[in-house]
Structure 1
Amino acid sequence: MAVSDDENLQLIDKKKVVSSVDGKMSKAGRTTDSGLKNVRALLFLFLWYFFSGCTLFMNKYILSYRDGDATLLGSMQMVLTLVCGYIQMWHPCGMGPKASMSLSSKPAGFAKHMVIIGGMRFTTVLLGLVALNFVAVSFTETVKSSAPAFTVVISRIILGSKTGLYVKLSLIPVMGGLALCSANELSYNLPGFTAALLTNISECCQNVYSKMLLSDETYNYTAAELQFYTSLASLVVTIPTCGLLMDWDKVMATTDSTMFMCLVLNGIFFHYQTISAYVLMDYISPVTHSVANTGKRAFLIWTSVILFGNEVTFLSGLGTIIVIFGVLLYNKALNVDGEKKRALGVKLEVAKV
């Protein structure tokens, strides 16, 4: 059947529109959820999970088996992220391009951004330590299970990104499943709950703000750059805090060559945990990152069961299944909402044509 020239032109225009819409989605790929289809994104997701498990093991070993000081542990993590971040700016090791060391090449407001993220990093670490002094780890993890919901709100405020209805609904089993996983030995008091909640909000703000910088089209922020400069900013506040909170008698009594090597190894693990999270953030949205973080926490709970022989309960098993189901549901919801946005975009562009 013959097709008229006018119809051919309309078909060509529509193809251009679809290509344009897809191009916008692709260009914004750093701020959408299509990144997890990328092999490198999956690699850094694995590295993030792996080094998080290593950090968890070393934290438990240093604090419980070596009777280490929590403030010293947190401070050494900041020092090692500073040192390793500086090295990786020269030698990225496949985690992004080599960063420029010249401060004159940095964009306006660079120092302000680094101080803001550095302050949030320090706040997250400090409040996490305060929470652990008042409540059990399981209670802190239960509070943190609300992270995806906070991220949706904070992403809307800072990035202006909108989350579809199906994606919002899919967050319910993800958050509820983690809450069940960590529902054992719950201990509640107001200072502990407040510190855990503020830790959660601070971490979500840090992730969304970091995503905003990584998605900046005027300057190519690298993961190593964020790691080094934010660690430098947070260290400025960490040093006086160490003097106030650290138990120096305990530190002097427990720190030997073995403890020092454990602290250094823990700091290196923590560096790769955080920098792999930064690299991953360049591929996915803050909400997807938060969902992946929720899955990571469920993974770490089961890792602690295997490594430390913690008791496995019915609620832990049920919660894990719900988290896995919720993540699968979330991925499906992303596809559904993504198709709706794409179809709407095509209709709007066609209408303009």
Structure 2
Amino acid sequence: MFATLRQPVKSHSLITLSHQKPALSNAEPSSVPSLPSSKPGNFNLSITKPLHVSSLLKPRKSLVECNAYEANRSEPLDVNIELPSAQSETARKVKLGIYFATWWALNVVFNIYNKKVLNAFPYPWLTSTLALAAGSLMMLVSWATRLVEPPKTDLGFWKTLLPVAVAHTIGHVAATVSMSKVAVSFTHIIKSGEPAFTVFVSRFLLGETFPMPVYLSLVPIIGGCALAAATELNFNMIGFMGAMISNLAFVFRNIFSKKGMTGKSVSGMNYYACLSMLSLLLLTPFAIAVEGPQAWAAGWQKAVSDIGPSFVWWVAAQSIFYHLYNQVSYMSLDQISPLTFSIGNTMKRISVIVSSIIIFHTPVLPINAIGAAIAILGTFLYSQVI
């Protein structure tokens, strides 16, 4: 290898170094002749003997030079390390607490008006359809007026949403059918067994395992629900099966929803809006086939004549509050796991059961109340060990 160094001086001075691969074991150090003193810029150095790099280093002695970098103290040090903030974690818990409280309050109002409508108008398929239609209309208006930013979706998003919509439609109709046959309190006592369905589905279909205390907490949940069902004064098999089917369907809905929302840019509010619209498309033809417009028209006229104009407000209220409480619940699901969602969904039933018993003067036997209390206690223990 030849290296040519040119010095930008007035005279054409040239230093030529010839380098050959050194033989470290046999190489003899070459001497470098001293530069003859001459006038600046007027010298010429020529080395005829090849100059080995090894000859510039002293044997058995190496020099290691460490240069420390001194940062500019006038500029702040930019370190990208995110430390957990206690303040942000507290704000997150407060936000979730507000979501949960709003969700539960809206759910209580919905159940009260929904039961009033079903008592006067026993058509659960149409009632379920109107609830989805009201929510879909509200969100379309919100998107059109830019109160809410419309979601950016593609075909893949709607394919992922389809199984969620199927489960949501089944669970929604089944719960409404249940409440049309039995008391609101009884429906929600049975639906408090949702954590058991969540664990069984997660264990046997998704392959998830849980510690033994989780399985033990299911014993009072299942036992309490069974005791409450066996001692219910107005027991109805259709109402009981509707609540059980709703439990199973909503567990799948929550699991599919969480998977569908992961990695998506669609927020919880818009996600539920799209879910309502797709469920409305799925439910409408079945509602027409099961009940039919003729039965709806006759039932509507009878309800208006019996209740008066306030019946229309009941229908509007149950439809609007159904969408609002589900929308808030999905805003919560956007930030928590399906199991935590099921826990919150079960704990809310305490307020629904108590309020419905007070408002509708539902007769409750002491043994029935004990069964409900055991089921709720099991839900509390489940929330502590999960």
How do 1:64-143 and structure 2 match up within 5 A?
A: 64=119, 66-67=120-121, 69-87=123-141, 99-103=149-153, 106=154, 109-131=156-178, 140-141=187-188, 143=190
One-letter code aligned to 2:300: V
In structure 2, what is the equivalent of residue 62 of structure 1?
Answer: 117
Change (3 A) 1:99 1:208: farther
Change (3 A) 1:69 1:331: closer
Which stretch shows the higher mean deviation, 257-266 or 199-208? 257-266
CA distance in 2, matches of 1:100, 1:159: 33
One-letter code aligned to 2:158: A
Q: Could you say which structure has the larger radius of gyration?
A: 2
1:310 CA displacement: 1.7
1:111 CA displacement: 1.0
One-letter code aligned to 1:237: L
Q: Does 1:212 align with 2:255?
A: no
CA distance in 1, matches of 2:167, 2:143: 22
Which stretch shows the higher mean deviation, 134-143 or 77-86? 134-143
Provide Cα deviations, 1:276-304, integer angstroms capped at 9, x if missing partner: 11122223322222233222223312111
Of residues 262, 267, 274, the one that matches 2:319 is 267
How do 1:104-253 and structure 2 match up within 5 A?
A: 106=154, 109-131=156-178, 140-141=187-188, 143-156=190-203, 161-181=208-228, 183-185=231-233, 187=235, 189=237, 194-214=241-261, 216-217=262-263, 219-244=264-289, 245-246=291-292, 247=295, 248-253=297-302
Identity over the aligned pairs, expressed in percent?
24
RMSD over aligned Cα, in angstroms?
Answer: 3.6
How do 1:274-285 and structure 2 match up within 5 A?
A: 274-285=326-337
One-letter code aligned to 2:251: C
Change (3 A) 1:204 1:81: same
One-letter code aligned to 2:106: F
One-letter code aligned to 1:72: L
Which stretch shows the higher mean deviation, 78-87 or 34-43? 34-43
User: What's the TM-score once normalised by structure 2's chain length?
Assistant: 0.64
Structure 2: which 5+ runs fail to align?
A: 1-80
User: What's the TM-score once normalised by structure 1's chain length?
Assistant: 0.70
Q: Does 1:254 align with 2:306?
A: no
Change (3 A) 1:331 1:136: closer
One-letter code aligned to 1:62: V
CA distance in 1, matches of 2:132, 2:216: 37
1:84 CA displacement: 2.6
CA distance in 2, matches of 1:92, 1:162: 44
CA distance in 2, matches of 1:132, 1:49: 18
One-letter code aligned to 2:140: Y
CA distance in 1, matches of 2:141, 2:269: 8
How do 1:281-296 and structure 2 match up within 5 A?
A: 281-296=333-348
Instruction: Indicate if the aligned counterparts of 1:63 and 1:69 stay in contact, CA closer than 8 A.
Output: yes
Give secondary structure in 2 for the equivalent of 1:283.
coil
Change (3 A) 1:325 1:160: same
One-letter code aligned to 2:272: Q
Instruction: Indicate if the aligned counterparts of 1:170 and 1:329 stay in contact, CA closer than 8 A.
Output: yes
One-letter code aligned to 1:187: F
1:99 CA displacement: 4.5
Instruction: Indicate if the aligned counterparts of 2:113 and 2:318 stay in contact, CA closer than 8 A.
Output: yes
Change (3 A) 1:71 1:86: same
1:153 CA displacement: 3.0
* More RCO (CA 8 Å, sep 6+): 1
1:275 CA displacement: 1.0
Provide Cα deviations, 1:53-84, integer angstroms capped at 9, x if missing partner: 101110122222x4464333212101112123
CA distance in 2, matches of 1:36, 1:131: 38
Give secondary structure in 1 for the equivalent of 2:232.
coil
